[in-house]
């Protein structure tokens, strides 16, 4: 079986979508014996002036990069149809122009298709009414072309069950638990790290506000912000640091390498996120694998994660003072049990290992091909 992954951004771009697709492609090849390849766009959205090589490999997975026109919100890349090759299944990632385009052209390419939701396009409140109307019309129509819609979270499943209930299944993203496993500080510290894209839905300024409140309770609290620029720039983050007087408490590290992030994790005991919306929260689970305890906003995906892992502190992003008081108290209470809590966090992350998650995707592919009478 050959599965072609179609995704707007891929390595070396940094983000949850990019990580999920790269880890799935590698795990399918390594652990399930499935041939995988990737088609993606030839420019990173954070560096539109630089064109990436048209062909590459990522850990043995062939990567084809294609040009696009239009905005990064809805890039148009019709040449994707020239690169379907011998794929038995096309797996489209995210609900975007590729999702609509591959659906519209299915009468031409006639390939079995599945799509992963990755949060849809509801990460921010921008144009929320228009998004709802688009979802109920265009997304509904595009969904008809897909054999399966793979919801990346329970919240995604609830939304897509409204328009494609008969073909929606839930498979939450896996985590590369070996990447930073056990990398957290061996001693308790009042340091948390944010890892991920600098985008508005991540509410990085809210996390800085939380650290400002924590600093008023104990001067040792620090925040490390590590990730890649998106619709929020490092300059905007630095300006918020100045406004809140947190320049000494917050360290901003744009576009670090995996090894660089691992070194930064070694200074921390907590993984932080003040997101207003998440489809899954990949970086927080990766933090668990490092031994970090989540400090996260009280939204449904994080609520489920804290409940299932038995680890973490939820806070109200609209009341950071109350959240800071709860976090400081929890830190004092848990310091004596830090070593065992760190080990429990690592153990909890095993449930998200890509090896078992990739097998779930492979089962979906096999079921699609079987029902279409195709030998995979």
Each residue's pLDDT tens digit, 224-269: 999 988 889 999 999 999 999 999 999 999 999 989 999 999 999 9
Look at residues 36, 8, 81 and name the one whose alpha carbon lies nearest to residue 230.
Answer: 8
Output the pTM of the full model: 0.72
Range of the domain at 166: 2-174+353-371
- What CATH number has the domain bearing residue 24? 3.40.50.2000
If asked whether residues 318 and 365 sit together in one domain, one would say no
Residue 186 covered by a domain: no
Instruction: Name the helix (H) or strand (E) containing 260.
Output: helix 258-265
Strand 270-273, strand 250-254: pairing: unpaired
Residue 179 covered by a domain: no
If asked whether residues 148 and 216 sit together in one domain, one would say no
Strand 61-66, strand 55-58: pairing: antiparallel
Residue 147 covered by a domain: yes
3 state SS of 155: helix
If asked whether residues 195 and 163 sit together in one domain, one would say no
Handedness of CA 292, 298, 302, 308 (dihedral sign): positive
If asked whether residues 50 and 136 sit together in one domain, one would say yes
The side-by-side arrangement of strands in the sheet containing 270-273 is 250-254, 222-227, 191-195, 270-273, 293-297, 313-315
Residue 45 covered by a domain: yes
Residue 180 covered by a domain: no
Higher local confidence (pLDDT), 229 or 29: 29
286-295 mean pLDDT: 97
Residue 185 covered by a domain: no
If asked whether residues 140 and 16 sit together in one domain, one would say yes
If asked whether residues 60 and 122 sit together in one domain, one would say yes
If asked whether residues 119 and 44 sit together in one domain, one would say yes
Each residue's pLDDT tens digit, 123-178: 555 557 888 999 999 999 999 999 999 999 888 999 999 999 999 999 988 888 88
Alpha-carbon distance 366 to 376, whole Å? 7
Number of compact structural domains in the chain: 2
If asked whether residues 33 and 145 sit together in one domain, one would say yes
Each residue's pLDDT tens digit, 178-194: 889 999 999 999 999 99
Alpha-carbon distance 41 to 113, whole Å? 19
Each residue's pLDDT tens digit, 69-122: 999 989 999 999 999 999 999 999 999 999 999 999 999 999 999 999 998 876
If asked whether residues 19 and 164 sit together in one domain, one would say yes
């Amino acid at each position: 079986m050959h599965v072609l992954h179609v995704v707007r951004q891929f390595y070396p771009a940094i983000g949850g979508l990019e990580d999920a697709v790269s880890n799935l492609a590698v795990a399918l090849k390594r652990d399930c014996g499935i041939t995988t390849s990737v088609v993606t766009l030839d420019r990173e959205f954070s560096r539109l002036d630089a064109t990436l090589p048209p062909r590459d490999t990522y850990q043995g997975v062939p990567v084809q990069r294609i040009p696009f026109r239009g905005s990064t919100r809805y890039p148009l890349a019709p040449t994707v149809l020239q690169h379907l090759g011998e794929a038995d299944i096309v797996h489209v990632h995210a609900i975007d122009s590729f999702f609509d385009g591959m659906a519209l052209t299915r009468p031409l390419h006639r390939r079995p298709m599945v799509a992963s939701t990755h949060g849809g396009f509801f990460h921010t409140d921008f144009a929320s009414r228009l998004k709802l109307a688009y979802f109920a019309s265009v997304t509904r129509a595009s969904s008809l072309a897909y054999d399966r819609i793979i919801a990346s979270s329970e919240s995604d499943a609830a939304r897509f069950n409204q328009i494609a209930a008969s073909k929606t299944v839930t498979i939450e993203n896996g985590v590369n638990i070996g990447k930073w496993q056990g990398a957290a500080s061996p001693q308790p510290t009042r340091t948390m790290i944010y890892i991920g894209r600098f985008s508005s839905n991540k509410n990085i300024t809210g996390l800085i506000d939380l650290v400002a409140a924590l600093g008023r309770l104990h001067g040792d609290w620090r925040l490390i912000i590590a990730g890649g620029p998106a619709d929020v720039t490092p300059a905007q983050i630095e300006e918020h640091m100045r406004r809140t007087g947190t320049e000494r408490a917050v360290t901003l590290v744009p576009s670090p390498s995996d090894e660089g992030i691992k070194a930064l994790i070694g200074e921390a005991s907590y993984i932080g996120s003040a997101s207003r919306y998440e489809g899954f929260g990949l970086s927080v689970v990766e933090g668990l694998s490092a031994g970090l305890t989540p400090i996260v906003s009280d939204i449904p995906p994080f609520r489920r994660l804290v409940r299932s892992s038995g680890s973490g502190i939820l806070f109200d992003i609209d009341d950071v003072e109350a959240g800071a008081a709860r976090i400081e108290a929890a830190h004092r209470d848990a310091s004596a049990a830090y070593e065992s809590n760190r080990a429990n966090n690592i153990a909890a992350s095993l449930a998200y290992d890509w090896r078992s998650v990739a097998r779930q995707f492979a089962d979906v592919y096999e079921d699609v091909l079987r029902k279409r009478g195709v030998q995979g």
